[in-house]
Amino acid sequence: MEPETQFIGQSAAFQDAVERASLAASLDRPVLVIGERGTGKELIAERLHRLSTRWDRPYVILNCAAMPETLIESELFGHEAGAFTGATRTRAGRFEEADGGTLFLDELATMSMGAQERLLRAVEYGEVTRVGSSRPIRVDVRIVAATNEHLPALVDAGRFRADLLDRLSFEVITLPPLRAREGDIEVLATYFGQRMAAVLGWEEWPGFGPRALAAMEGHDWPGNVRELRNVIERAIYRWADPEKPVDAVNFDPFASPWQPVVRKGPAPADGGSAPTASADPAPPAAMALPSGPVSDMRAAVDSYERQILADTMARCRFNQKVAAEALGLSYDQIRHALKKHGLNQ
């Protein structure tokens, strides 16, 4: 499936961020895009370029976190032949490649202090100098940078240059996490669900069942839209009956009664602990006990039992035999328990 390039969402928080990006696009100034992982920082950066006067010029991307500290300056500014071991020929850096266009610096906060110092000069004077050269090169580049860190706090901690932050923060667009985008979870889930159903050749889109929708609305989505897309696509392809609404979602693809359990092995010589993997089945996740006084013990126990059954069935993809083994029950016992609590649908 092709990468997602559209903006899907109707919440006020999301629309405000998109509108601010559209407004800032026409100004030839640096922009910082802040947001948790999976919130769409890359899409906002591309929008800033496509709606700018530089739309027909190069759009160059550099993920700062993917570059070792020893190579990031060479990647940004280029190098001359013989500048360091392995530099067999002269190479232009990302600034030169982006001349006239936009340079998107992802994971900006991971950049070393040395690279920050050279970046500051490039932003301030429009000049870069290749590693191993003393001759500056004029470049015309608009910088858009993204991070999931709070940069002012990094400045206070001495990990980011205050003067560089001043020059890059003409406009700061902070993207809301998915949990704060009221009404967008179902909109996005339906969009991704319809696309995945089409990929699988389903004749019609059956929608989601109430159990799946409730589970999605109650999830915290630490991975935001990227996580949501994975969850939805996984749920669609695992669903056995395309004619019925999809009513089961699995948030953790690693969940399994037989997943390895990390156990502490013999302590190594340095005094630390060496975790080892065991193939023992993972116990069911602990449930939250009722808080405060219990006025009806039988009802409280029944509610707790139902919660355990529902959670285990979801983790076992609603396979009764697997769930029975995970709970130490016989097949007949779990069927009786599911019927008792109305979970045998």
Is residue 143 within 8 Å of 123, Cβ to Cβ? yes
Which region holds residue 107: left if phi is over 0, alpha if psi is between -120 and 50, else beta?
left
Could you give the percent of the chain with pLDDT greater than 70?
A: 88
Is residue 221 within 8 Å of 177, Cβ to Cβ? yes
Mean pLDDT for all residues in the chain: 86
What's the pLDDT score for residue 286?
47
What's the pLDDT score for residue 228?
96
* pLDDT confidence band for 1 (50 / 70 / 90): very low
What's the pLDDT score for residue 283?
47
pLDDT higher than threshold 90 for residue 89: no
What value does the mean pLDDT take over residues 35-49? 95
Lowest average pLDDT, out of 81-85, 254-258, 274-278, 295-299, goes to: 274-278
pLDDT higher than threshold 90 for residue 293: no
* pLDDT confidence band for 68 (50 / 70 / 90): confident
Beta-carbon contacts of residue 327 (< 8 Å; ≥ 6 apart): 284, 308, 309, 312, 334
Domains of the chain plus CATH, in order, are: 12-176 (3.40.50.300), 181-238 (1.10.8.60), 257-283 (no CATH), 290-345 (1.10.10.60)
What's the pLDDT score for residue 32?
98
CA-closest candidate to residue 316, choices 263, 252, 260, 261: 252
pLDDT higher than threshold 50 for residue 336: yes
Is residue 269 within 8 Å of 337, Cβ to Cβ? no
What value does the mean pLDDT take over residues 29-50? 96
Residue 242 tokens read as 């395309």
Convert the pLDDT of each residue in 283-292 to its tens digit. Answer: 444 455 555 5
CA-closest candidate to residue 49, choices 79, 10, 22: 22
Is residue 87 within 8 Å of 41, Cβ to Cβ? no
CA-closest candidate to residue 313, choices 331, 321, 244: 321
* pLDDT confidence band for 272 (50 / 70 / 90): low
